[in-house]
Chain A
Amino acid sequence: MSKLLSTAKTEVLFMGNEAIARGALEAGLSVATGYPGTPSSEVIETLAAVAKERKLYVEWSTNEKVALEVAAAASFAGLRSMCVMKQNGVNVASDFLLHLTASGTRGGIVLVTCEDPGALSSVNEGESRYFARMLEIPLLEPANFQEAKDLTKWAFELSEKIRNVVILRSVTRMSHASGNVICGKLPNKFRAARFVYDGLITDPLRGPVISTPVVAKHTLQQKKLKKAVELFEDSPFNSYSGPRHPELLIITSSVCYLYSREALGMLGLQKRVGILKLGCTWPLSAKLLKKYLRLTDKIMIVEEVLPFLEENVKIVAAGMLKEIGIKTFYGKMDGTLPSVGELNPDLVVHALGKIMKVQYKSLTESYMKEIKKIARLIPDRELTFCPGCPHRASFWSINTALQLDGRGGFVCGDIGCYAMAALFPAIGFNTVRTLHSMGSGTGLASGFAKLSAFGLDKPILAVCGDSTFYHAVIPALINAQHNRADITFIVLDNAGTAMTGFQPHPGLAVSAMGESVPDVDIAEICSAIGAKVAISDPFDLEGTSRTLTSFMAESGSLKVLILRQICALSPEKKGKKKYLMQVDEELCLGENCGCNRLCTRIFRCPALTWDRIKKKAAVDEVICAGCGVCYSICPQKAIMRTEATN
């Protein structure tokens, strides 16, 4: 049984995302939607696993905008719904979000955003807290795992009290961290959907759901926000702990609260510094802040990544200077804390130490000296494509084709495991030259291809994965076709949303809840758009580079090559090897080959290692996935492959 269904009062070890899911269940959730994105994906995954028992509808939508629209529909019909995404996704959903907060909502609806300060699994460390301020939506941030559950549950209540969407913000160190949580009650009543729309256009609860008349609805929206602030004033999620007369007041939210508390412990400052933990971080309650800003004239704000809380606290403080006095603020804006990257207890200790003039006793000099010496022994461990990854083979062929073509063509990259080809150029064989957001590779390529009129005459390629294709690439592809941008577009179809954990997408005939559903074929979409389409197996290096070379030589049309081969880690593959690989030590000339170790130095498969003693290549049978591609690259044909009998 999933621990998400644990009985009330049980203490369970929940991941932050699981706690959020549990909180939503306790609130009587009916519909959950999202798009996979680290660190958010587990919320939807765990809900999908209990969808049957809890009578939920759970969906992986094609992108975050659609996901929010689907969740909104449920809310309009009086159900409680949740939409989950990573920080990038809020940008994608933002146009709809803008109109949603203007039209208002009915059933409680919570937008959960799981952000990635420090970009541990992203190519940005953007923030969505500002959307709350800009779109005038209440913002909640849980500061520990118990709150991740409780605050989520309360978010639905808040949403229904003010009839607007509520944003709940988490970060990697909350979402992917785990801690003890005491469960609450799961409801045993399930709502029925009812969409009322006969009322006047000005009636947000009974009329059509619409953001007009704009000024009237905007006025209403601002009233809702004021109501939220009143509720924040007495909320148990905002709390102070510390001395009655602190020398320094820390104002913090999210996991930074745990860092701050730990830092105080490490420096022994618990009796001198107080912490105001805010769970409701937009709008800020002036009444609440006044109470605590009065306590001392030194205020330190600990948050990540941008100084959102800091700016807002200062704005509130500026409005009440007469009552609270002049304050000194420490935070990001004055350089006390770093302005980029994620925080941790050590950074907070360092900052606190400076302000409170306390030294943190760390390790002895002699130990530090030893550490320095040993640190020099440690080799970097770079990321690379997994053994058996089709992307390695795809980029190998793309490089071959680009070199043979000789005009200096390049690839516009996109988001997925294959993004690593841009992040670590050597594993993409130096072919990918741009990387931005989902679907942007094709858009950029569509732009580059029109620059031949300005003298840029090179073959332009774009890549994307199968999941990314449905998310954002289609409009860019249509753009390329319609505007006659001569690009070669390559779909790296490994049958799943691999980087985030194999969530299904419209290219697969299965849904988030495991049901059999129709798939939407990529090749057919591209043909319908009018492109010339070919399908190839990326493990066939020669065939793939031949097709690419001929595509690049053809001008005047949109060409699509779909490289189809299942991901090496796909659960469907069950770790089965197609081939057994071995290096023939007689045939391998090792360092005397003159190939300058093409197999290990250039190909970069972690299963193809170099035996330092024999000075020859060797296959690591434990991690080899048996894809057989390395057989084709050795000029001596020293890498043997035999069919595996599974």
Chain B
Amino acid sequence: MAFRAKKLSSQKLLKKGVLEEELCTGCGACVGLCPYQVIYHDRTVQLHYCDLEDGKCYAFCPRTPTDLSALRELLFNSDDLTPEIGAVKSYYFSRAADSRLRASAQHGGTVTALMELALAEGLIDSAIVSSCSQEFLPKGTVVNEKAALRNNAGSKFTVSPTVAAFNQSVNDKSGQIGVVATPCQALALAKMKTRPQEDESGKINQLQLVIGLYCGWTLSAEKFTKLLAQNSIALNSLKGMDIPAGKNILELYTNNGIRAVPFDDVQACVRESCRYCLDSTAEYADISVGSARFGNDWEEMRRWNQLIVRTAKGKELVELAVKNGALEIREAPADSLQELKKAAIEKKNTALKNIIRKSGSTKNLLYLDRHDPIVQKFLKNKASDKECR
């Protein structure tokens, strides 16, 4: 007698494969699609049991098995692809031309300047960014005005479920959207693009622009809150944070001045899922922006960004921004691309090591496809490292 095993619901697969495995990045891709998943503080919570199969939550999640090479093929020109940092059409240092903007920004204000321009030029009708760190836990917020954009500028060090905001806010009236996304969020948005077009919502077609952010890790809200308490820093006095290059600390900008916390203590607060992330430069965005920090020129470089242009759309926007005088660009210093790639390689290797340790086998790479040529390249490197020893 034939016996067919019951397929697990997408929600259950998500729970078993991602949430219980501590792979969840908190990107919010599975939230806002239905009433079952919500983000609470920085945790993804399943409120009720859903028995649907082939669900969007599972399909959009950046930590479910993903065919990355198919994604790359869809989004980028194969000539532009680099194994370390994804597609690179061009690489610059950049900063917002408006000095007032730069003053309120984390580093060079590039992201805000680009989004402002995109809004002003009607390339997008609204932008989804992570909200200002007045609330310690940021969340995605929709803005369509310059002032609002500027108010929300600045890096956040705990995850913002920005993709949830995309899911929830995009509708017939919101027009074209631009999103500022971390690497995992950019990947989720990219995965959404590969859903068959008969998906009735078609919301993803309204996504015009993704500006990605470099990211090394994010902090667990719960652990970080405890750390702050241990250092007698009140949550509501925190205005911002940064990691100055070369010093082993996290700088905290509070109402009562600047405090420093040893980086090792901060490391212990890193969100577990970050340990399994290979992407330090938001490889699946149109444009990726990070801090220009490197070595001795910190104080000078701190007010500049690194800028990677990846797609034709990104190129178009950057050129427009330069032409309109919203953005200043300059050639990057000689070794900065080298340094960037080195850092990227290190992150990939560490992540792979962690993944293999977690799964217990090089044949099981959790959400990665071990046949992916880029993954294989790094696996081989690891193997040869081993042999060299």
Residues of chain A whose beta carbon lies under 8 Å from any beta carbon of chain B: 399-400, 403-404, 406, 429, 592, 594-596, 598, 602, 633, 635
- Indicate if the CB atoms of B34 and A635 lie closer than 8 Å: yes
- Indicate if the CB atoms of A595 and B47 lie closer than 8 Å: no
B74 at interface by CB-CB < 8 Å: no
* B residues near A404, Cβ cutoff 8 Å: 38, 40, 45
- Indicate if the CB atoms of A602 and B48 lie closer than 8 Å: yes
Q: Pick the contact of B35: A403, A406, A633 (CB < 8 A).
A: A633
- Indicate if the CB atoms of B48 and A592 lie closer than 8 Å: no
Residue of A nearest to B55 (CB): A594
Residue of B nearest to A406 (CB): B43
- Indicate if the CB atoms of A429 and B40 lie closer than 8 Å: no
Please report which residues of chain B, range 72-116, place their CB below 8 angstroms from some CB of chain A when the two chains form the complex: none
* A residues near B368, Cβ cutoff 8 Å: none
Q: Pick the contact of A596: B38, B45, B47, B52 (CB < 8 A).
A: B52
Please report which residues of chain B, range 20-40, place their CB below 8 angstroms from some CB of chain A when the two chains form the complex: 33-36, 38, 40
* B residues near A399, Cβ cutoff 8 Å: 47-48
Q: Nearest Cβ distance between residue B62 and chain A, in whole angstroms?
A: 20
Residue of B nearest to A426 (CB): B49
Q: Pick the contact of A595: B34, B38, B51, B200 (CB < 8 A).
A: B34
B56 at interface by CB-CB < 8 Å: yes
Q: Mark B47-72, 1 if CB is under 8 A from A, else 0.
A: 11111100110000000000000000
Q: Nearest Cβ distance between residue A179 and chain B, in whole angstroms?
A: 48
Q: Nearest Cβ distance between residue B268 and chain A, in whole angstroms?
A: 20
Excluding A406-B43, A592-B200, A596-B51, 15 further A-B contacts by CB distance (< 8 Å) are: A404-B38, A404-B40, A406-B40, A406-B45, A429-B48, A594-B33, A594-B34, A594-B52, A594-B56, A595-B34, A598-B34, A598-B35, A602-B49, A633-B35, A635-B34
- Indicate whether A403 sits within 8 Å of B200 (C-beta atoms), given known contacts A596-B34, A596-B36, A633-B35: no
Between A and B, 25 residue pairs with Cβ closer than 8 Å are: A399-B47, A399-B48, A400-B47, A403-B45, A403-B47, A404-B40, A404-B45, A406-B40, A429-B48, A592-B200, A594-B34, A594-B55, A595-B34, A595-B36, A596-B34, A596-B36, A596-B50, A596-B52, A598-B34, A598-B35, A598-B48, A602-B48, A633-B35, A635-B34, A635-B35
* A residues near B40, Cβ cutoff 8 Å: 404, 406
Complex CA distance for A403 and B38, rounded to whole angstroms = 10
Residue of B nearest to A593 (CB): B34
B144 at interface by CB-CB < 8 Å: no
Q: Nearest Cβ distance between residue A596 and chain B, in whole angstroms?
A: 5
Complex CA distance for A633 and B36, rounded to whole angstroms = 11
* B residues near A429, Cβ cutoff 8 Å: 48
Instruction: From A399, A403, A594, A598, name the one whose CB has the most chain B CB atoms within 10 angstroms.
Output: A594
B208 at interface by CB-CB < 8 Å: no
* B residues near A592, Cβ cutoff 8 Å: 200
- Indicate if the CB atoms of B35 and A595 lie closer than 8 Å: yes
Complex CA distance for A635 and B35, rounded to whole angstroms = 6
Q: Nearest Cβ distance between residue A368 and chain B, in whole angstroms?
A: 26
* B residues near A633, Cβ cutoff 8 Å: 35
Q: Nearest Cβ distance between residue A595 and chain B, in whole angstroms?
A: 5
Complex CA distance for A559 and B39, rounded to whole angstroms = 26
Residue of B nearest to A634 (CB): B35
B46 at interface by CB-CB < 8 Å: yes
* Interface residue count on the B side (C-beta < 8 Å): 18
Complex CA distance for A429 and B48, rounded to whole angstroms = 8
Q: Nearest Cβ distance between residue A517 and chain B, in whole angstroms?
A: 43
- Indicate whether A403 sits within 8 Å of B46 (C-beta atoms), given known contacts A592-B200, A596-B51: yes
Please report which residues of chain B, range 293-342, place their CB below 8 angstroms from some CB of chain A when the two chains form the complex: none
Complex CA distance for A404 and B44, rounded to whole angstroms = 9
* B residues near A406, Cβ cutoff 8 Å: 40, 43, 45
Complex CA distance for A633 and B51, rounded to whole angstroms = 18
* A residues near B51, Cβ cutoff 8 Å: 596
Q: Nearest Cβ distance between residue A205 and chain B, in whole angstroms?
A: 66
5 closest cross-chain pairs (CB), A and B: A404-B40, A635-B35, A596-B50, A602-B48, A403-B47
Q: Nearest Cβ distance between residue A548 and chain B, in whole angstroms?
A: 13
Residue of A nearest to B47 (CB): A403
Residue of B nearest to A545 (CB): B47
* A residues near B33, Cβ cutoff 8 Å: 594
Instruction: From A399, A596, A635, name the one whose CB has the most chain B CB atoms within 10 angstroms.
Output: A596
* B residues near A635, Cβ cutoff 8 Å: 34-35
Complex CA distance for A596 and B50, rounded to whole angstroms = 6
Instruction: From B35, B40, B46, name the one whose CB has the most chain A CB atoms within 10 angstroms.
Output: B35
Q: Nearest Cβ distance between residue A615 and chain B, in whole angstroms?
A: 14
Complex CA distance for A411 and B170, rounded to whole angstroms = 38
* B residues near A400, Cβ cutoff 8 Å: 47
* B residues near A403, Cβ cutoff 8 Å: 45-47
Residue of B nearest to A404 (CB): B40
Q: Nearest Cβ distance between residue B58 and chain A, in whole angstroms?
A: 13
* A residues near B56, Cβ cutoff 8 Å: 594
Q: Nearest Cβ distance between residue A549 and chain B, in whole angstroms?
A: 8
* A residues near B52, Cβ cutoff 8 Å: 594, 596
Complex CA distance for A595 and B48, rounded to whole angstroms = 11
* A residues near B48, Cβ cutoff 8 Å: 399, 429, 598, 602
Q: Nearest Cβ distance between residue A407 and chain B, in whole angstroms?
A: 11
Residue of A nearest to B40 (CB): A404
Q: Nearest Cβ distance between residue A457 and chain B, in whole angstroms?
A: 14
* A residues near B55, Cβ cutoff 8 Å: 594
* A residues near B36, Cβ cutoff 8 Å: 595-596, 598
Q: Nearest Cβ distance between residue A608 and chain B, in whole angstroms?
A: 15
Complex CA distance for A592 and B200, rounded to whole angstroms = 9
Q: Nearest Cβ distance between residue B226 and chain A, in whole angstroms?
A: 14
Residue of B nearest to A635 (CB): B35
Residue of A nearest to B52 (CB): A596
Complex CA distance for A406 and B50, rounded to whole angstroms = 18
Q: Nearest Cβ distance between residue B265 and chain A, in whole angstroms?
A: 24
* B residues near A602, Cβ cutoff 8 Å: 48-49
* A residues near B49, Cβ cutoff 8 Å: 602
Complex CA distance for A399 and B49, rounded to whole angstroms = 12
Please report which residues of chain B, range 363-381, place their CB below 8 angstroms from some CB of chain A when the two chains form the complex: none
Q: Nearest Cβ distance between residue B201 and chain A, in whole angstroms?
A: 8
* B residues near A594, Cβ cutoff 8 Å: 33-34, 52, 55-56
* B residues near A596, Cβ cutoff 8 Å: 34, 36, 50-52
Complex CA distance for A400 and B48, rounded to whole angstroms = 8
Complex CA distance for A633 and B52, rounded to whole angstroms = 19
Complex CA distance for A598 and B33, rounded to whole angstroms = 13
Q: Nearest Cβ distance between residue B271 and chain A, in whole angstroms?
A: 15
Complex CA distance for A245 and B293, rounded to whole angstroms = 110
Complex CA distance for A598 and B40, rounded to whole angstroms = 20
Complex CA distance for A594 and B49, rounded to whole angstroms = 13
Residue of A nearest to B35 (CB): A635
Q: Nearest Cβ distance between residue A631 and chain B, in whole angstroms?
A: 14
Complex CA distance for A360 and B55, rounded to whole angstroms = 57
Complex CA distance for A174 and B38, rounded to whole angstroms = 53
